[in-house]
Amino acid sequence: MQLKYLNLSNNRITTLEAGCFDNLSNSLIVLKLNRNKISMIPSKTLKLPYVQFLELKRNRIKVIESLTFQSLDSLKSLKMQRNGINNLMDGAFFGLNNMEELELEQNNLTEINKGWLYGLKALQKLHVSQNSINRIGPDAWEFCQSLSELDLSYNQLTRLDDFAYIGVNVLEKLNLSDNRLSYIADGVFKGLSYLQSLDLRNNEISWAIEDANEAFTGLERLNKLILQGNQIKSITKKALSDLQALEYLDLTNNDIVSIEEGGFSQPLLKELLLNTSSLLCDCQLKWLPHWLFNSHLQNTVNVVCAHPEWLAGRSILSVNTEDLLCDDFPKPQIRTHPETTVALRGANVTLTCKAVSSSDLPISAAWRKDSEILYDADIENYVRYQQQDGEILEYTSILHVFNVNFTDEGKYQCIIFNHFGSNYSNKAKLTINGMQKWGFCFALF
């Protein structure tokens, strides 16, 4: 009788000697070595051409050398969770031409790159949640073009550059929850036309919803989007307009203040999860109660007014629409936008942004260049009160860019915000002319 299934889990195995499985090479299909004390896998140990399922969970393997698994010709599934793996050498999984599933959760990986993914042409599922991944390298997915499911949750990603998902054109499910994402390049998901589920919960990407952009362009088949816990305060009508196949939308745990009419225009939307007690219940929200009832979505939302004060604590579903008035504007409204500028190299450039609010709550400002926050910028802010149908607050933010160079070229934008939400200015393009500001040199003949 030939042995096909071997479970050596929960022992104290520390070493796999060369040839230890040779007598099983013609029969073994499943090998489990979980919960041992194995710290390395010599390259000639696993000569098991018929093994399809290999588990090495909860061992002490820190490094996987090149060609470690090259003799596992039939392997379909490899599970190596909770090993403390911190280094995957180039070609670590080379030879696994038939592998469909790779699980590397709860290790210490810091980067996704094409070096260690080399050879995984049949890979369909990659789970690398709960690592320390902070970077996805260029062309990372070059050798994984069959990938349909990718779990990158609970990592340290702060940004998704425009090349982040080039090559995974058949991806159907992507989990990016519980990272630290604050920057998503326009069109980063553009090539993912087969994506059906996208989980972005518990990140910091409020701007992707609040400032109409191209964050979700190309997701023509997406039917499930989770944006729970992203500090979103407002939803524009264009934010989700590209998602015409959307059926499920989760916006819970966001203190949403305002929703533009048409913000939920997806024709197939069947389930909307929304809970907020921060709504600015004015005339801009008159459409919402009727739309919720008409769409049969009122039972999965909890939408409570915070302003005006006399409606605070009431569900907007119980408020008479005649009581939804626009007699103030506590959320900042931008009146002066920064202007597109052409400057000589070496000159000083000033960009100005002004906003007004009927609320006396503190107002703040931030500036972005090419959609990224400028943390060390030279910014001057000041506030003054003016009389205009009552006292209003005027807030001015000035960005100074000194001694400009070509690296300062880009699109600049101010964000002005208070407790009631944020408003985003138009983007002003700064172009630098190569001529020095201090003049010309003439050759006299």
Digitized pLDDT (tens) for each residue of the chain, 445 residues in all: 689 999 999 999 999 998 899 999 999 999 999 999 999 998 888 999 999 999 999 999 999 999 999 999 999 999 999 999 999 999 999 999 999 999 999 999 999 999 999 999 999 999 999 999 999 999 999 999 999 999 999 999 999 988 889 889 999 999 999 999 999 888 899 999 999 999 999 999 998 888 867 789 999 999 999 999 999 999 999 889 999 999 999 999 999 999 999 999 999 999 999 999 999 999 999 999 999 999 999 999 999 999 999 999 999 999 999 999 998 899 999 999 999 999 999 999 999 999 999 998 899 999 999 989 999 999 999 999 887 666 789 999 999 999 999 999 999 999 999 999 999 999 999 999 976 544 444 443 3
**pLDDT computed for residue 166 by the predictor:** 86
**pLDDT computed for residue 443 by the predictor:** 41
Specify the number of domains making up the chain.
1
The tokens 């002319």 sit on which residue? 433
Domain containing 355 — which CATH number?
Answer: 2.60.40.10
Q: Tell me, yes or no, whether 358 lies in a domain.
A: yes
Radius of gyration of the chain (CA): 28
Would you state the torsion angle of the CA atoms of residues 37, 41, 47, 52, taken in this order, to the nearest 10 degrees?
70
Cα–Cα distance, 119 to 150 (Å, whole number) = 17
Side chain identity, residue 418: N
Q: Which residues pair with 101 in a beta bridge?
A: 77, 125
> 1 CB contacts (<8 Å, ≥6 apart)?
none
Q: Tell me, yes or no, whether 341 lies in a domain.
A: yes
**pLDDT computed for residue 434 by the predictor:** 79
Q: Tell me, yes or no, whether 183 lies in a domain.
A: no
**pLDDT computed for residue 440 by the predictor:** 46
Q: Tell me, yes or no, whether 345 lies in a domain.
A: yes
Q: Tell me, yes or no, whether 319 lies in a domain.
A: no
Q: How far does the chain reach from its first CA to its final CA, in angstroms?
A: 101
The tokens 């698994």 sit on which residue? 69
> 441 CB contacts (<8 Å, ≥6 apart)?
none
**pLDDT computed for residue 436 by the predictor:** 57
Hey, what are 27's tokens?
Answer: 């029969």
Query: Residue 281 in contact with residue 324, Cβ under 8 Å?
Result: yes
**pLDDT computed for residue 327 by the predictor:** 87
Domain limits at 347?
333-433
Q: Tell me, yes or no, whether 337 lies in a domain.
A: yes
